[in-house]
Amino acid sequence: MRKTHLGTKTMAAYRKLEGKSTQLLEKIRENLERLNEKIDVMIEIQKHGQREIPDNLPEALDVMTLLSLPDHLRKTAVTLCKLGEATAEEVAKQTKRARAVESGYLNQLVVMGYMKKERKGRKAYFYVDKEA
C-alpha cells in the first residue's frame, strides 16, 4: 500500500511539472510569434525604403510608433497601410482574424488618432490618416 501512495504522489508531481513545462513552451511560442511580427514590420519598411515611407505611412505611424503599438493593433495597422482603404471584413481576410475582432481593433486605432473612419452606405471604411 505504501508503494501505491508514493506512486500516486510521484505521478501527481510529474503531471504538475508537465503542465508547467507546457505553459512555459506556450509562452515561448507566443513571444516568438510577437518577435516574428515585429521583424515582419521592419522588413516591410526596409523593402519600401526610406523614401516611400512618408507616402505610405503618416508620421504618426513611423517605425517606432508601429513597434510601440501592441502586437494585435500593429498587425491591423500594417495591414490597413498595405490596403490603403478597407472595411473590417477586408482587413480580417488579410489577418485571418474575425471581422468583429478587426472592427474593434480598427476602431481603437481611430480613437488613438492613427486611422480615420468613413461610412459609405451601410459599410464603414477605414483608412490611414496621412495628416496625423
**How many C-beta atoms lie closer than 10 Å to residue 116's C-beta?**
16
Domain-by-domain residue ranges, the chain? 2-128
Task: Output the pTM of the full model.
Answer: 0.55
Instruction: Identify the DSSP state of 60.
Output: G
Q: Tell which CATH classification among 1.10.10.10, 3.30.930.10, 3.40.50.720, 3.10.180.10 matches the domain 2-128.
A: 1.10.10.10
- What pLDDT is stored for residue 130 in this prediction? 64
The pLDDT tens digits of the residues spanning 109-132 come to 888 888 899 999 999 999 886 655
Three cell numbers at 76? Answer: 491591423
The pLDDT tens digits of the residues spanning 2-33 come to 455 667 777 777 777 777 788 888 888 888 88
Task: Tell me the sheet residues that pair with 125.
Answer: 118
